[in-house]
Amino acid sequence: MSGEPVLTAHGVSIRYEVDPPVEAVKDVSLTLHRGEILGLAGESGCGKTTLAYGMTRLLKAPAVMTGGDVVFHDASGEDIDVVALSGEGLRRFRWNKVSMVFQGSMNSLNPVMSVRKQLHDVFKTHRRGMGKAERETRSAELLQLVGVDPSRLSSFPHQLSGGMRQRVMIAMALSLDPQVMIMDEPTTALDVVVQRGIIREIMRLRERLGFAVVFITHDLPLLIEISDHIAVMRDGRIIEQGTAEQIYRRPADAYTKQLLASFPSLTGDRGAFIRGREETGRSITTEGAA
């Protein structure tokens, strides 16, 4: 990690304009450094995904960003005002600079298009000068990169396992060599063995390619294991930030302590876990995604 910022958000607020309006994200500020993994933790509905969509300009009505700034610090030295982007500038920014792995790979992939066509469409949109042979070569390289046999280019999403679909989504997110990848619950609905494989793949690719990651999950123990820094979110606000070690060993906020206590130890006795939950004063929803 170089210590240089690659993506900064300052005072971001997002509202869902329904009746009554819902303030989903409230004055959030974050800094993602080049090459690091920033974990974003919190229970279901706290605003994690809404924040990610706002930072990448993927919000759809009735969601509206009502305040704040998002700046992308390009490796070339240029600072890009993400909020001000529109039209062609926004098209060049998405996937080229910042890409996203969406929650639910089966819903993210088009069920009636082969993997080949979906990868080729990325290049047709963003690399218009690439010929068919070059697109085919690059698509095969991407599948190999994420541990999928290139013969799967001809497959449709329903012909792939959940883990393979998620790897295809990661390949698509890497297709234009972005400097930042936002991963929204990338292991949700996968069994634990496949989850560990996906996590190892993400760590390997990050070390090899050097991109920074915003990793969104309700699983705080996982973030402590893989993240450089962690931000804990509750009710639309960031309530605590720090290094993974600080969050684990010296959590400052009572809610962070509750999140840590909500996961049983593999080595402790069951009674200790139950007592820990009782000491928090209430239970916490840690399943699903914001």
Looking at domain 5-97+179-252, its CATH class is alpha beta
SS3 state of residue 181: strand
Return the percent helix, strand and coil in the chain, to nearest 5: 40, 25, 35
The amino acid sitting at 269 is D
**Residues 194, 202: Cα–Cα separation, whole Å:** 12
List CB contacts of 42: < 8 A, sequence separation 6 or more.
48, 218, 232, 233, 234, 259, 290
- Give the domain ranges of the chain: 5-97+179-252, 105-177
Q: Is 261:280 a contact under the CB 8 Å cutoff? A: yes
pLDDT at 281: 44
Nearest to 83 by CA among 58, 49, 48: 58
pLDDT at 221: 87
Interval 31-74: pLDDT, tens: 999 999 999 999 888 999 999 999 999 999 999 999 999 999 99
Q: Which pair of tokens denotes residue 253?
A: 């906020």
pLDDT at 36: 96
pLDDT at 4: 94
Q: How many CB atoms lie within 10 A of CB 14?
A: 24
pLDDT at 106: 60
Q: What angle do CA 207, 212, 214 make, to 5 degrees?
A: 120
pLDDT at 270: 54
* Per-residue pLDDT tens digits of the chain, which is 290 residues long: 457 999 999 999 999 999 999 999 999 999 999 999 999 999 888 999 999 999 999 999 999 999 999 999 999 999 999 999 998 899 889 889 999 998 876 678 999 999 999 999 999 999 989 999 999 999 999 999 999 999 999 999 999 998 899 999 999 999 999 999 999 988 877 788 888 888 999 999 999 999 999 999 988 888 999 999 999 999 999 999 999 999 999 999 999 998 888 766 666 665 544 444 444 443 433 333 34
Give, for 212, the enclosing helix (H) or strand (E): strand 212-217
pLDDT at 2: 54
